[in-house]
Structure 1
Amino acid sequence: MKAIADRVGVSIKSVSRVLNGEGGASPETANRILATAEEMGFRRNELARGLRQGSRTNTIGLVLKESSTRFFVELIRGIEDVAERHELLVVTATSRSSDQEKATLLALSSRRVDGLLIVPASFDQAYLRPEQAAGLPLVFIDRPPAGIAVDAVLSDCFGGGYAAAAHLMENGHRRIGVIGGFASAYTVSERLRGYRAAFETHGIRVDRNLIRLDTEGASEAEAAADELLDLADPATAFFTLGNHCTVGAIRSLRARGISNDRALVGVENMELADMLEPPLTVVTHDISDMGRIATERLLARINGDDSTPQVVILPTRIIPRGSGEIPSAR
């Protein structure tokens, strides 16, 4: 408000009155203040007003990168377990782009939710610093925040990537193809880092020709699997870094009739994973527990915990079902 006051040539009090609809300025001055505020991107913060009044809404916001996968179903279950015990209402919204994420989070914060749980879609959340400064508690889930220091609850993606690659190596595989989503995503980059570390530990050189990232949707993942199978020295096993990648790899293997000849380890459970032929081996973690821990952390912040931001990393585990235990024929 000081910047607006300086530009218009009025007092901060005059700016505050106009922006809060309290009057006290001539129509001409009020219009100049409002025009300048809009030009400077000023947004009246209802959160800060509510905090000054000491009010609570018993409502928390949850913003998800997407909401159609089993991961989010289990995550929401864990969040709602805690919310119900504490008689909190959870307002859920989705975002599929950086711009939509920003608009959604700022809209929720301006409506005075008591705190926000965020599964980020963008790679920079510095725009939330004013909300944090105003006292809005924030907890990130699955992916760490960027541009802002707040709590986060993550899975051990590095450990999961290491365990998956090592598991396949135990069955004789050295040509392990990797299919993943966006390379810039934390979950993808950390799993790939774990994969590389497993190769280093076992004294095996990583062949970059076996890595296919930035796939969008099952069709692109299927095409990536086809490429890995068509190499002069093809992949004998697959490590897929997301459900759409797993689906694509399965389609490729089935189309060639070699589902029982190539090993496959996926990330996270998917519907009917145990009913596939062969049943799908996965590296996973307790997703509902992730939601519960994040919500408890948010509640602690809402109730006054002002300690240094924490990063909680949940362990991963392999669930062997058959597809990841197919031995290498070479």
Structure 2
Amino acid sequence: MTSDIRDQDPTTYERPSRRRPGATATPVPDRYTDVYAAYETAVNDPLLRLDDDTRRNYLSRVRQYLAWLDATDLDGDPLIDPATRDWAARDYRAHLLTVLKRKPTTVNAHLTAIDDFNRRLGLGPAAAKRTALPNLAPRSLDQRAQLRFLRETALCAPRDRAMGYTAFYAGPRIHELVALDIDDLHISARKGVLIIRMGKNGKYREVNMHVKLRTELETYLTERASLRGADKTKALFLNTRGGRLSARSATDVLNGIADRAGIEVGRDEDFTSHVLRHTLGTKLAREGEDVVTIAELLGHSLETARRYTLPTDADRQAAIDKLTVDE
């Protein structure tokens, strides 16, 4: 059961996770300081298994929403009254679309964060429709960006190289990547299987390894044996102290590879760690794999896996560019 954040002690919350370089956090209005602090405590609960990006994005979007509430004249309190909650969410949706000119995907992401916030207030999600999205495949790296990412990955030290290839060829979510143990790898001379034991919604899955990934993991395992702490933990990817690498640090590694490869990093840019997962799904779909196989490999529902069969923005542009011009 989701707890009511107004019942939590606002003095126990931790500071927000790091922001992107150059970003400035929206300040929380004074009258909402306590309720925001309690919400921050709630989303930092490790039992939720939220990755760092999700947690950071939720907190950022809720701060922006609270700042908008503070500057908006509403007839009622949206943090107490369900009817005012609904009107506030709808008006904020219109504000994001028409005033701030946000994309539909961004607007929907804000509404998702606000729904989570309202649930933890004990109100439940607002009755606000999501903005219809273009019928496109999820954002993924194009062929040139893929090659640049792989070439830069090849230049990394064994641990980071293994992480980059695992993210690219196996498509784990970031929390799945860092949760891997050495006994989750079953490698033989001709094949390999990577086991995700606790995926989204607790799903278990097995991912067959690409030959390149198998080779790089074998190389890393040889080096790992000599690393600090290797004999004290089963964690596959270790930090410099010999413990399990955190999701934040793993994200930094992947972002660093992309940045050095000349790929724009950030949730509104070309690259996030999750884009690698979408890239794998899109590649599999373009190469003719059926959606059932894609769903099994990535731990998706069939409905989600079908999205990879939709055209990308690059596909639509290519279709237009093929038009004959009569001059």
Q: Same fold (TM over 0.5)?
A: no
TM-score normalised by L of structure 1: 0.26
Greater strand share, structure number: 1
| Larger Cα-atom Rg | 1
TM-score normalised by L of structure 2: 0.26
Greater helix share, structure number: 2
